[in-house]
Chains A and B, each alone.
Chain A
Amino acid sequence: MIEDVTFWLSYLTNGKHLAWYGSFQFTIFAALVGGFFAVVFGLLGATLKASRHFPLRLIGSTYSSIVRGVPDVLFFLFFPLAFEQAVEWFVSTQVCTPEAIAAQTSPWPPCKEANWFLGTGEYLLLASVSLGLVYGAFATNVIHGAMRAVPAGQLEAARAYGMSSTQVLWRVHIRQMWVYALPGLSNVWMLIVKSTSLLSLLQIADIVLWADRLGAPNFLPAVGLVHEDWRWRYYLVLFVFYILVTWLSERVFEALMRRAGRGILSEEPT
């Protein structure tokens, strides 16, 4: 009994498991940074979409509709590659000498100096930007819709009292917009959280990859504990983890909503 406990304790704390536990930070990092970028791209996209100039409006709505018309996985596979090549191309225009370009035999990169090595850190950043880019398209729509959901009368009243358009924008429009945007942004956040399960497709040794490795059946004592296919148990842990994150996120968004919705939502008498 005691032996069992110590055995399991040491099994569950071996390096492989520690690496698994450690990989949760990648997931959390990608979600948080991805969420940040999504809001940034969302605000940007919504600004474009609401712009007075047609070309900008076109860019804004093209961005949000094309990206949402295509599965996120496809973007995750495509965007990092495209981004890497774009960076390398940009660097090459700065550093490559004509001789170096001539000397380069392989089709890419233009010259050796322009090559960009991607390690876990870079991949993680790329993944976060990809998440931000994909879900920024959703956030664009949410924020755009929320801006339009602010009752016209609220803005009219501000204008009628002589506020300038920037004052109207910041003191009333954006201030009230959050109430309408938060439910949508909360959805987008949940999307981001769940799409972090795809990080393994981006060459990050994330929680899913480790769960798969740890759960795979093993017959060789040299490799570690010999066991049959245990993957579904490891996946069950991930399943629970994601449910917990969802639950926690909901609580946080509820609190945010209460803050943003003061006066607008509360009807309880003082």
Chain B
Amino acid sequence: QENVRIATEGAYAPWNFLNDSGEPAGYEIDLAHAICEQAGLSCEFIVNDWDSIIPNLLAGNYDAIMAGMSITEERQQTINFSDEYFPPDPSRYVALAGAAIDFEPLSGARIGVQGGTIQADHAESNLAQDNTVISFTTADQAVADLAAGNLDAIFADGAYVDPIVSASGGSIEYTGPEIMIGEGMAVGLRKEDADLTARINDAIAALKADGTVDGLIAQWFDGRGPYYAD
């Protein structure tokens, strides 16, 4: 049985996070176990900073990335992606309750993002002109700054902020438009590992077909979706 090391960030609930016992857990972890079982691989998780997650893949310190990473053209220049395992999902703004932000046009606002994400790219190219874009090393830190009132809004994956909005008891709420960026999330792999990519793709296809993926999405994302069945 081939051993595959999978890197995750461990700070992007509910995709991946460290549970109370300090182990990686979340949607991607469950999914990875399913994929590995399906593909007949033995899997092992490695927690790695978001910043250096691609360099360390290339350096051979692990074989795959499952860390809420969206497929982008830029990333495709250096790594391969498997087929997506999380459908394209709109990115959302959230702000403290009662912060009336004018999005027509958005200007003069302090927007928090996690550095190196598709939202950060988007903000840099579309918002930086008139707003202050502040990038944090982890998404958690952006949330902390928002909660402390140091940001007007954060811009992040809809499914990332969704549970925060619901768990915040009304103190954090959605605002502004939903923006569709990214082409869904997928496993990141080294270009030369075509064989592994193929095996993972097969497994993902099978798991999508038998409803396992949708089941896990329902389980981890509060039944909110998005699903492949639609």
Contacts and interface: CB of A to CB of B under 8 A. Distances in A.
Asked if the two chains touch in their complex, CB atoms less than 8 Å apart, one says yes
Interface of A: 14-16, 18-19, 81, 84, 104-106, 108-109, 115-119, 200, 203, 205, 212-213, 216-224, 226, 228-229, 231
Contacts of B164: 219-220
A34 to B, nearest CB: 21
Given A222-B14, A223-B13, A15 B19 contact: yes
Interface string B96-112: 00000000000000000
B126 interface: no
Contacts of B17: 220, 223
Interface stretch (B82-90, B115-123, B142-150, B207-215): B142-150
Contacts of B5: 117
A219 B167 contact: yes
13 contacts: A14-B21, A15-B19, A16-B20, A16-B22, A106-B58, A116-B60, A118-B59, A203-B56, A216-B141, A219-B143, A223-B13, A223-B14, A228-B147
B131 interface: no
Contact of B140 (A16, A200, A216): A216
B192 interface: yes
B49 interface: yes
Given A16-B21, A231-B144, A221 B190 contact: no
Contacts of A224: 19-20
Contact of A105 (B144, B148, B191): B191
Nearest to A221: B167
CB-based closest 3 A-B pairs: A15-B21, A19-B22, A216-B140
B61 A220 contact: no
B52 A203 contact: yes
Given A216-B11, A219-B163, A14 B20 contact: yes
Contacts of B168: 219
